[in-house]
Amino acid sequence: MDFKDLVQKRRSIRKFTDERVTDEQLRLILRAGLMAPTGHGQRGWQFVVVDDPQKLQAIAQCRPAGSDFVKDAAVAIVVCYDASATDVWVEDASIAAVTMQYQTTDLGLGSCWCQVRLRGNAEGVSASETIKQLLGLADNIEVECVLGIGHPAIERKLQDEEKLNWDCVKR
């Protein structure tokens, strides 16, 4: 797919069929993340792949809202970073996550970002802590987000070219 069509086609998908994501599809998605740019070329990411239904369910419960769709994903990629390596880990992790989302769209799959950093459950436990404990991640690892990925169970419209807010472009 042409990149200009790809950026128009990418939409958040939160409903998935039961069809699995193949190992080759997953490899291509991770490959895209591993090719993302990073500040000073640090490449301090950790991409933790989760396909165990119980773990997906537990991740889905890390927040009171906004994370539920993860339970129905075929696979989730927990986008983490060694925060001791750089002061721009949020940017690095975010760029890798979005790069993987575009690869996902190009493969005909769907994905949605679940925000983890700065979020928590109703009891005040941070979403990051819940996920770190669940997956046994080291203390120096920070969690930016979780990408829920699968075959779309719904069709979303292309982004509307007519609704782009060109006013926010200053020149």
Q: Judged by CB under 6 A, which of 76, 89, 113, 142 binds ligand FMN? A: 113
Indicate whether 112 belongs to the interface with ligand FMN (CB under 6 A).
yes
- From residue 8 to residue 47, the character string flagging contacts with ligand FMN as x (rule: CB under 6 A) and all else as - is ---xx-x---------------------------------
Cβ pair 76, 68 in contact under 8 A: no
Is 7 a binding residue for ligand FMN by CB under 6 A? The answer is no
Shortest distance (Å) from residue 97 CB to ligand FMN: 8
Q: Which of 66, 120, 129, 153 binds ligand FMN (CB under 6 A)?
A: 66
Shortest distance in whole angstroms from residue 23 CB to ligand FMN = 26
Count of residues of this chain found to bind ligand FMN when the rule CB under 6 A is applied: 9
Q: Which is nearer to ligand FMN, 27 or 60 (CB)?
A: 60
Q: Among 17, 84, 115, 133, indicate the residue that binds ligand FMN (CB under 6 A).
A: 115
If one asks whether residue 114 binds ligand FMN (CB under 6 A), the answer comes out as: yes
Written as one letter, the residue type at 158 is: L
Q: Are 144 and 80 in contact (CB under 8 A)?
A: yes
Binding interface with ligand FMN (CB under 6 A): 11-12, 14, 66, 69, 112-115
